[in-house]
């Protein structure tokens, strides 16, 4: 256990030095596969008052063992099709706390931190990851998140968020789901599809696509989110 705590401490020290910017825009699962390497791209297309805002993030990650996974992201933003600009940086550490199936549910811990590029705005977040196998191929996952925002260009504040996903394992390649996103900025819910495409050896592609609808007046009416991960 001590070696895991040391690695977490070293990673957080590097994160603080980078001052990366936290943004949680999906439901995380608590599992780590040893020595897994990952290239990831994800996007969110938001309809904000009739103007489409496209948020992108690209990342590279590595599992140091069967417990610890780290990933670093580059975040970009483009409004309509006028071009893209670097928006910020983000880093995360995922710690699988329990073995899959060891207890009544599976548990993990997520640490994220980040910074915006052009303004003094930083965040640090801690998330509890939870997943439970239900009857008849149903799986329920949830993330409980606490975030702290600070910087000279924003008002320092503490925020909380809840992410949840009810998924049906129809097949390896296709898994329909229903997702919920509740935080201080957005209240949204909607359907999603995801799956895994097996390639040669350990290589595989994980994909997901979801359409979220705003549940209150402050949330954009529609949010299209998607992502693809190449694992090898």
DSSP letter for each residue of 127-188: EEEEEEE-STTEEEEEEEEEEEEE-TTS--EEEEEEEEEEEE-S-SS-EEEEEEEEESS-EE
Pick the residue with more confidence: 12 or 107? 107
Instruction: Say if residues 55 and 41 touch (Cβ distance below 8 Å).
Output: no
Q: What is the pLDDT of residue 87?
A: 78
Tell me: pLDDT of 8 over 60. no
Tell me: pLDDT of 9 over 80. no
Output phi, psi for 52, to 5 deg. -80, 130
Cα(61)–Cα(64) distance, integer angstroms = 10
List, in sequence order, every beta strand (DSSP E) within the chain. Answer: 37-48, 51-63, 68-79, 85-96, 106-116, 122-133, 138-150, 157-168, 175-183, 187-198, 204-214, 222-231
The Cβ of residue 193 has, within 10 Å, a number of other Cβ atoms equal to: 16
Instruction: Say if residues 21 and 123 touch (Cβ distance below 8 Å).
Output: yes
Q: What is the pLDDT of residue 20?
A: 34
Tell me: pLDDT of 54 over 90. no
Which residue has tokens 């030095």? 17
Q: What is the pLDDT of residue 6?
A: 54
Q: Is the pTM of this model over 0.75?
A: yes
Residue-wise pLDDT for 107-120, tens only, equals: 999 999 998 887 88
Helix, coil or strand: residue 11? helix
Q: What is the pLDDT of residue 47?
A: 78
Going from N- to C-terminal start, the domains of the chain cover 2-231
CATH for the stretch 2-231? 2.40.160.40
Residues paired with 216 in a beta bridge? none
């Amino acid at each position: 256990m001590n070696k895991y705590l040391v690695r977490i401490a070293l990673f957080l020290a590097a994160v603080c030095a980078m001052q990366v910017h936290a943004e949680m825009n999906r439901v995380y699962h608590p599992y780590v596969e040893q020595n897994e390497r990952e290239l990831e791209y994800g996007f969110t297309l938001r309809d904000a008052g009739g103007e489409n805002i496209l948020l992108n993030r690209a990342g590279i990650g590595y599992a140091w063992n069967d417990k610890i996974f780290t990933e670093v992201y580059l975040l970009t933003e483009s409004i309509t099709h006028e071009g893209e600009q670097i928006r910020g940086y983000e880093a995360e550490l995922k710690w699988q706390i329990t073995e899959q199936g060891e207890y009544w549910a599976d548990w993990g811990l997520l640490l994220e931190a980040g910074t915006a590029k052009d303004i003094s705005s930083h965040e640090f977040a801690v998330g509890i990851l939870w997943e439970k196998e239900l009857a008849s191929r149903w799986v329920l996952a949830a993330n409980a998140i606490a975030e702290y925002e600070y910087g000279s260009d924003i008002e320092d504040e503490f925020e909380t968020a809840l992410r949840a996903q009810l998924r049906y394992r129809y097949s390896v390649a296709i898994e329909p789901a229903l997702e919920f996103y509740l935080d201080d900025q957005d209240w949204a819910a909607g359907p999603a599809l995801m799956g895994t495409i097996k390639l040669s050896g350990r290589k595989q592609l994980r994909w997901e696509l979801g359409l979220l609808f705003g549940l209150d007046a402050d949330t954009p009416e529609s949010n299209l989110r998607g992502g693809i991960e190449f694992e090898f």
